[in-house]
Structure 1
């Protein structure tokens, strides 16, 4: 591209994010019909094609087409992955849902770190096309790897299976996923029965359109979408994509700029892992969201002032403190908001609308990002550090919004979370558990030559609390 104008620089991430927005919206119409697992497998094929097209692009137009295709697949994956498997609130036990679902955010921060260091490594390659084609080509194997993992290792969501009439498969998937996460088999059975009873109750409340979603669940839908959209307005993507411009404005040169970007990615991963592993399921979602937004307001304001004052200064110590502000931002964002927002958005909405609302939230997240990232190079060129104040104001707004509307969900089942927002919690009775246990014991007794009297004695044993 030689010396591209700001509009072309903004187009490279902009068209990718536009593709993400389209992919997230596509998930609304397809994943409930096709299933989370198969939908993601299709997207793995699409992202591999898009990555290959970027890598071998004969011209800039073909490169942008590859960006759109890959972005489409990634957007659909992001919208779906928070519903599924180890990155899914649908299969995670309540006491570990923050950790299990937070793996999705850790994956994002790991990708950020790896891509930044690959960018530095590419700078040492022989000058020419290999400097950018090789890093892009390294994306290709990961789509293939995920496809194979989905095909041979990962199960379908038990809630999706049950809703689509695969009751026995749902039960097997539930037990396989949860393993020993409950204190006893009886507790696990109660949780499974609760899940099925809530799903049956929800069947009478099916939602077919976006308008109906807002009509029936306006509060939860808005809160869920807000928790995803607000992350764009913290400025994270602008800082992440254009941090090299910021470092250059503060006097950094050559490969030192890419080195600082590599450190940025490393800090993101460390902060994300530590807080997801040790804090999210102990500290709670609401405190992490509110503290994260407050810290972003403070740090973005700090960055605006330091960059504005010292961008043209010869004081290298002051410039170092300005760069420190970028690292403070990445610590606060990835430590408190990154995983938490992608966890909170799907866990507060009921299953009939979960995939739709999560996709709509991801869609608005990406649409806002398109505008911010496309405008980024021109904004930094024309108004400089004042662009930070956009993120200060936006984050302050969501801080106030969150104070009044973000409810705590730590240690609650998805069904108990529903009650926090006014839904009736369907009770699991002793009769429900006894009926399921009796059916299981009959099968076990037949295969082992047991008697009906023995089964009845076991049931009475449990009822008497022995």
Structure 2
């Protein structure tokens, strides 16, 4: 089997892997472009000389500037936290597609408000606009992975949900480079720092247009009793007629799952909360929360939001040089994300990627922390001459920083989103994803709010702290997270019941194989009986 060969839960017609499912997933992933762009551009925009001059940062003390920057960055995460929770309610009443449309509108209103800020009006419009923009991306971060996972064939579900991460990195790549570009090509002015804020509207506008044309999630329609509409969309998505055995089997899985949970939990906005009484469901919610704790605990968002501060601690001085180094960081992340989505996520699986990524990343962070402690680079002057003032040890630290990126990106960067989009049942999927997305933005807020203070107070210990959390995450993944690649959404409950966790995946795939054989034999038996009855009827008429 080649590296692109797919491991399927059952025989799958080639028609299923068609352009329609990829286009729908890519369209929904424009939401991630918006999120990725913001996570990358804001830190370097706040470091632009034109922004510093217009809002008179030089007249403030270092502590006041640090607090102001942290507030500008972190109110976005605070808004996203509440937006991700609000998406649970909008998805129940409006569905996945209309929710994406709604939250895209909210984001664009917030982004538009930011464009009205200037030195005379102050930063109020930027802060208020970032709260609204946060609400918008928070809701989209909940809806997008769910929407994609519900329309994806199991064998390529990781790859399709991974498009969400590709969108995130593509937006981040633009965000990392845009301030280098405007700083190199434009004289310091109001327009220079305004351009990066205006670019936010491009991916949000594309999502707004795309949400008009993509279909609703068929699984959501089935859960609302709109079976005829759901079947039509499912057949269109799979490019198969409704009488095809693949469609019949998928409908059988979906209907069994919906019926079981309507009987056990019941339909309704608040009914899924009753399932939280079940310790097994509680544990899955806890897994979702801890995945994002360890993701943010790796240090990624400290680097995303405050990359100039990070590179300063390694000996990189000057605005343009810092921006250039940050831009290269974005390129490395984007390239490795494509490797992750095309090869790793549906072949190596979720568990192996997380453990290998954490092990390699921890080693790199320990090295960087040790270098900063020994070399004493944490207090390099940011106003120093443009350049890379590195000792041989500093060069090694930069190498290990990019090596850390190579370990982190194809593991913890997108895999937690894939896991959370697929590990919940039909009745708790929206609630579970709301919990996961809210957890992500909560930890994101903590990182954004306190990173500058942490670097000022802890120095090299910040890197030791991140490395130690990554070591703990290896133990967590090994004992708590089963492999989910290739497992249908409707089999996730059974997957999380199998012990030990490391063997659950192979056990479930064997059970699915036996179930598939039995189902096909039953279908074949019915066809034979009908054929026999028809033959006997013809013979009777002849007599």
TM over 0.5: yes
2 CA distance for matches of 1:300 and 1:456? Answer: 73
CA distance in 2 between partners of 1:455 and 1:169 (Å): 34
Please give the alpha-carbon distance, in whole angstroms, between the structure 1 residues aligned to 2:437 and 2:367: 29
Q: Decide whether aligned partners of structure 1 residues 288 and 181 sit closer, same or farther in structure 2, where only a CA change above 3 A counts.
A: farther
Could you tell me how far 1:435 is from its partner in structure 2? Answer: 12
Query: Does structure 1 residue 45 correspond to structure 2 residue 109?
Result: no
> Counterpart of 1:243?
307
Q: How many matched pairs?
A: 439
- For structure 1, which segment, 16-25 or 313-322, has the greater mean C-alpha deviation from structure 2 after superposition? 313-322
Cα deviation for residue 40 of structure 1 reads 0.7
CA 1:43–1:433: 2 relative to 1, 3 Å: farther
* Correspondence 1:413-452 to 2 at 5 A: 413-422=488-497, 429=519
- Aligned-pair Cα RMSD in Å: 2.9
Query: In the alignment, which residue of structure 2 is the partner of 1:341?
Result: 416
Residues 18 and 188 of structure 1, relative CA distance in 2, 3 Å threshold: same
Contact 2:265 2:271 in 1 (8 A): no
Q: Does 1:407 align with 2:469?
A: no
Deviation string 1:62-83 (CA, Å, 9 cap, x unpaired) is 1100111101100110111110
> Does the aligned pair in 2 maintain the 1:272–1:336 contact within 8 Å?
no
Q: CA deviation at 1:436?
A: 12
Q: Tell me if the contact between 2:285 and 2:435 (Cα under 8 Å) persists in the aligned partners.
A: no
Q: Whole-Å Cα distance in 2 between the matches of residues 323 and 209 of structure 1? A: 51
1:110 aligns with 2:174: no
Contact kept, 8 Å, 1:292 with 1:336, in 2: the verdict is yes
Q: Do the aligned residues in 1 keep the contact of 2:169 with 2:334 (CA within 8 Å)?
A: yes
- 1:215 maps to what in 2? 277
**Does 2:267 correspond to 1:202?**
no
> How does 1:298-317 map onto structure 2 within 5 Å?
298-312=363-377, 315-317=390-392
CA distance in 1, matches of 2:124, 2:394: 38
Residues 1:263 and 1:455: Cα distance change in structure 2 (over 3 Å): farther
Q: Distance in 1 between matches of 2:525 and 2:82?
A: 46
CA change 1:433–1:155 in 2 (3 A) is farther
Which residue number in structure 2 is paired with residue 464 of structure 1? none
Aligned pairs for 1:129-208 (under 5 A) are 129-152=190-213, 154-179=214-239, 185-206=244-265, 208=270
Q: What is the distance in 1 between the residues matched to 2:442 and 2:162? A: 23
Name the TM-score, length of structure 1 as normaliser.
0.87
Using the TM superposition, give the Cα deviation of residue 455 of structure 1 relative to its aligned residue in structure 2, in angstroms. 12
State the Cα distance separating 1:432 from its structure 2 match. Answer: 8.6
1:431 CA displacement: 9.7
Residues 435 and 139 (structure 1 numbering): CA distance in 2 closer, same or farther, change over 3 Å?
A: farther
Match of 2:122 in 1: 59
Q: 1:44 to 1:454 in 2, by over 3 A?
A: farther
Structure 2 Cα separation of the partners of residues 155 and 310 of structure 1: 56
CA distance in structure 2 between the partners assigned to 1:111 and 1:308 by the alignment:
34
Map Cα deviations across residues 393-422 of structure 1 (whole Å, 9 max, x no partner). Answer: 222222211110110111111122221123
Does 1:30 find its partner at 2:90? yes
What do residues 15-56 of structure 1 show as CA deviations (whole Å, max 9, x unaligned)? 111111111111122212210100110011111111111122
Alpha-carbon spacing, 1:319–1:35, altered in 2? closer, same or farther (3 Å): same
**Secondary structure of the equivalent of 2:427?**
helix
Cα gap change, 1:178 to 1:339, in 2 (>3 Å): farther
Cα distance change on mapping 1:433 and 1:157 into 2, 3 Å: farther
- 2: CA distance, partners of 1:92 / 1:406: 21
Partners of 1:229 and 1:338 in 2: how far apart? 12
Asked whether the 8 Å contact 1:109–1:334 carries over to 2, the reply is no
Which structure 2 residue ranges, 5 or more long, are not aligned? 1-54, 59-63, 381-388, 499-507, 536-543
